[in-house]
Structure 1
Amino acid sequence: MTVFDVAVWKDGKVRMLDQRLLPTEERYLEFTSAAGVAEAIRAMVVRGAPAIGCAAAFGVAVEAFRLADSGTPASWPEAMAEGMRLLRQARPTAVNLGWALDRLEPLLAGDPVDLPQRLLREAEAIRTEDIASCRAMGKAGAAILPAPPSGRPLTIMTHCNAGALATAGYGTALGVIRAARERFGEVRVFATETRPFWQGARLTAWELERDGFEVTLITDSMSGHAMSRGLIDAVVVGADRVAANGDAANKIGTYGHAVLARRHGIPFLVACPLSTIDFKTPTGLEIPIEERPADEVTHVRGLRIAAEGVKVFNPAFDVTPAELVTALVTERGVVHAPDAIRMRAALKA
């Protein structure tokens, strides 16, 4: 499997693959402050809920090293407050961002000795744990996929990018697809292009091609036709936040694919780590939905495609009701037909 340095620590800096340039150019950027990491998250240099969480954790560590270079602060919580604020506000929907910061923040009020190093160790632990959780959920998800139909390989549709590029490695939805190939021998993938930021076309198709998958790219509006023709056996997507009742926020367009999958009797799986599940948010109605700049819709890589002056509505995510989710796949196991009771029974520690 191809390994990407999506968000890693290297030579005292946070190193990220600039995913805005893929698939035509592989360029790595380096950051030395929380402000720089926060802007990279906001600008989608790095994206995908688990990867954002890893990046934010490294952002905390690099900020601590930056401050320590000018002398140990009298109060670490006070010195780090602005950097933490910038990181928290970078993107509101992906719950992994706040989860990672909540995990590191208590260290700021503890023993100040070697604090930057201890923050870095915790950030590295988050990254290592994410890779392990992706592999575990991949195996759990592959185990519940339908057997390949007679005469052709299993064909899975996915939306957006929930692969190695969106995590510390291996992937959530694409982790299930990778594990499915290990189970069944051959798996074909239909990747939706994922407008308006084109994560499916730019990232998923590219990532899977590099790993030797047969990938068919379709526009977002073609999924219903593909399902109606019997071309899709299962749909597997990731999530940026899952509410306590199983409602799942994912890249805009996911909800429509879930409705179509239900109409055609196709299993619809949501794969995400436990860190993406927000038990403090009762339902999807309370999940904040990020709205992105208008030019992402009116322009494609700087070229205007829409009329001047047209109004734009550009939510980055939508919420798929739990009733449309066949199963929620996590590193702890699978929740079939998720609802508040099943979620808490299966996943709440």
Structure 2
Amino acid sequence: MSIDTNPDNYQGLRPVQLRADGRALLLLDQRLLPAEEVWLELDALEDIAVAIETLTVRGAPAIGCAAAIGLYVVSLGLPESRGEFLTALRAASERLANTRPTAVNLFVALQQQRVAVTDQLARDPDTNVARLREILRATAEQHVRDDLRACLELGAHGAAKLPAGGILTHCNTGALATAGHGTALGVIRSAWASGTKLHVFVDETRPLLQGSRLTAWELMHDQIPCSLICDNMAGAMLARGEIQAAIVGADRITRNGDAANKIGTYTVAVLCKHHGVPFYVAAPVTTIDFSLSSGDQIPIEERDGAEVREHGGVLRAPATVAVRNPAFDVTPAELITGIITERGVFTPSELALTSSR
């Protein structure tokens, strides 16, 4: 069965959107899932920045899409004087860039906006503010479209790699984490659509439970067979032969193939290596940071300890206990079987080939 990779035909969930009148960023509030489906309409810089910081929107590609649309929406309220407009736009871009340090898609999206404006001014120094806003909107919409197409295409490439049987995944890498369809979960969706018989084992993903709250919700919505497991059960499931492959997403991949992803991913990769099970990373090319030579250079966000001490407002540990809460870890290239992108599937050593295709 062929897999449709045309974004114009996509009918699934789009968690990051531009409101129909073009004047607000629409976000599905992922903090409230699966209990409630609430859409937020944001048009103020600080509200958009805080939404990214507080994981209202999360997942590296989705963060990039939110920043791209968000910067355009914010531009609507900036001064009409071109000089003042450009100064305020630069400050807004810097505020958004400071929201999450690890996910490189955020910086890619903002850089695309900066380049679009700079190029236009180089062509026509007299370009007015109205025209600059049009360019910001077109660039943002193209970024979202490109991300959706990348997810659909990498899903098709990855579907051919997934074996039948048990598939382990970690965190949320579905439509909720992207412009739509998903990265690692997009591969699973595409494999299921093509007829591969599989059963997904969903790591709950402590401390914020993106697996149990979000991935399980998406899989059940699509009626793909799945079972939720605690993070510390993955090793036992692998030892019992119930898992035939693992697939995860990434927030940043360096040019040697090291990959930063949600904390706990490294543990899964080590377990897969021990048990001889393939471990795949699925991400669009925008997630590859060719400026970094290895994962040692990736900044790792450390989040508030309250996320570990509490859940749902209920204290689960001594109120004053010290907490370490790194949001991500880095899986070294030697543990990765293949990196699935919209340009094909590459071993970490072949990753440089993606930049020339």
2:7 aligns with: none
- Counterpart position of 1:94: 103
Question: What are the equivalent positions in structure 2 for 1:188-267 lying under 5 Å apart?
Answer: 188-267=199-278
- C-alpha deviations, 1:222-278, integer Å up to 9, x for none? 000000011111101000000110000000000000000011111100000000000
Q: Is the 8 A contact 1:77 1:108 kept in 2?
A: no
Q: Is the 8 A contact 2:285 2:354 kept in 1?
A: no
1:141-193 Cα distance to aligned partner (Å, 9 max, x none): 111223x3xxxxx2211000000000000000011101111233432110000
Answer yes or no: is 1:292 the counterpart of 2:303. Answer: yes
**Over aligned residues, Cα RMSD in angstroms?**
1.4
Asked if the contact 1:18/1:28 (under 8 Å) is kept, the reply is: yes
CA distance in 1, matches of 2:83, 2:351: 44
Q: Residue 186 of structure 1 corresponds to which residue in structure 2? A: 197
Corresponding residue for residue 126 of structure 1: 143
Match of 1:141 in 2: 158
Q: How does 1:59-78 map to 2 (within 5 A)?
A: 59-67=70-78, 71-78=80-87
The CA distance in 1 between the partners of 2:15 and 2:168, in whole Å, is 24
**1:35 equivalent in structure 2:** 46
The SS at the match of 1:116 is: helix
- Dislocated runs of 4+, deviation >6 Å: none
Counterparts of residues 9-28 of structure 1 (less than 5 Å): 9-10=18-19, 11=21, 12-28=23-39
Q: What number of residue pairs does the alignment pair up?
A: 338
Cα distance change of structure 1 residues 9 and 42 upon mapping to structure 2, 3 Å threshold: same
- Which residue, 83, 88, 103 being the options, matches 2:92? 83
Q: Does the aligned pair in 2 maintain the 1:2–1:210 contact within 8 Å?
A: no
Q: Is the 8 A contact 2:14 2:175 kept in 1?
A: no
TM-score (structure 2 length as normaliser):
0.92
Which amino acid letter does the alignment assign opposite residue 115 of structure 1?
A: L
- Which consecutive residues of structure 2, in runs of 5 or more, have no partner in the other structure? 1-9, 122-126
Q: Which residue of 1 aligns with 2:16?
A: 7
Does the C-alpha gap of structure 1 residues 180 and 299 become closer, same or farther in structure 2, counting only changes over 3 Å? same
Give yes or no for contact 1:332–1:347 (8 Å, CA) kept in 2: no
Correspondence for 1:335: 346
Please list, as runs of the form range in 1=range in 2, the aligned pairs for 1:153-192 lying within 5 A after superposition: 154-192=165-203
Structure 2 counterpart of 1:344, one-letter code: A
Q: Distance in 2 between matches of 1:4 and 1:190?
A: 22
Residue 194 of structure 1 deviates from its aligned partner by 0.2
Residues of 1 paired with 2:155 and 2:170: CA distance?
16
Which residue of structure 1 lines up, in the alignment, with residue 3 of structure 2?
A: none
* Cα deviation code 1:102-158 (max 9, x no counterpart): 000123332335211221111111111111111110111111223x3xxxxx22110
Q: 1:46 aligns with which of 29, 39, 57?
A: 57
Counterpart position of 2:288: 277
Alignment partners' CA distance in 2, 1:30 and 1:287: 32
* Bigger shift: residues 302-311 or 30-39: 30-39
Q: Contact between 1:13 and 1:31, CA under 8 Å: does it hold in 2?
A: yes
* Structure 1 stretch displaced more, 16-25 or 99-108: 99-108
8 Å CA contact 1:5, 1:15 repeated in 2 = no
Identity of counterpart residues, as a percentage?
47
| Partner-residue secondary structure (3-state), 1:3 | coil
SS of residue in 2 equivalent to 1:242: strand
Q: Distance in 1 between matches of 2:250 and 2:270?
A: 16
CA distance in 2, matches of 1:167, 1:268: 21
Helix, strand or coil: the match of 2:76? helix
Q: Distance in 2 between matches of 1:347 and 1:221?
A: 37
- 1:347 matches 2:355: yes
> Could you tell me how far apart the structure 2 residues matched to 1:184 and 1:107 are?
42
CA contact 1:2–1:211 (8 Å) conserved in 2 = no
Amino acid at match of 2:12: V
- C-alpha contact 2:78 2:85 (8 A) present in aligned 1: no
1:105-116 aligned at under 5 Å gives the runs 105-109=114-118, 110=121, 111-112=127-128, 113-116=130-133
Counterpart in the other structure of 1:57: 68
Any unmatched runs of 5+ in structure 1? 149-153
Instruction: Give the residue type in structure 2 aligned to 1:251.
Output: K
Q: Shift of the alpha carbon at 1:3?
A: 2.7
Per-residue deviation, 1:346: 4.0
Question: TM-score, normalising length from structure 1?
Answer: 0.94
TM-aligned CA deviation for residue 2 of structure 1: 6.9
Bigger drift between 19-28 and 185-194 goes to 185-194
Equivalent residue, structure 1, for 2:331: 320
